[in-house]
Structure 1
Amino acid sequence: MKVPFSTYDDYFTVLNLGRVSGSSYVNVRPEPSTAKKEIAQLHLNDYVQLVLDSKGNIVMDQTKSWYNIKLSSDTNGWVSKNYIVRELK
């Protein structure tokens, strides 16, 4: 059975899937702040793995303004939640 991606959330959920939105690219930072130089860039509509804690909750900074993400290089970084849409939640 083929299921269109736009209706996947009718069939299952994913706790840690995010997608870049709102900008042509987004800087990934080594900490939840713009004070340090970016460690990577993500492009519009790139999918990202949001880091989960041991209870299955999304890891965010204390202000709940930044998501902790895992890059394909297996490095963790931080992205402002303003540029990430959670998918299939």
Structure 2
Amino acid sequence: MSNFALVCNYEGDYGMKVIMLDDDYSMEDVARIAKENIAGVFVPEPLPGTKLRVRRHGEEEFLPESMTISAAGFIQAETVDIVHVKS
């Protein structure tokens, strides 16, 4: 486990935020931690039934929720999009 910085482009936020994570965190963990730090502070809480998904910035395909940061091959300070999807 080691500290890992990702730049987070959270849907609806006015700007990007840096979040510090462990490299063994899953994409589900990344979305949860981003929500805990951004939703209700910079943007409204997601509507009930909304799921958050993670993808590399500029890509359309979501990363598997169980994939870890290290398995995704991210580099330090790479940008991810956190997107609301209906579950």
Please give the TM-score of this superposition, normalised by the length of structure 1: 0.29
Q: Which of 1 and 2 has higher RCO (CA within 8 Å, sep 6+)?
A: 2
Structure index of larger Rg: 1
Please give the TM-score of this superposition, normalised by the length of structure 2: 0.29
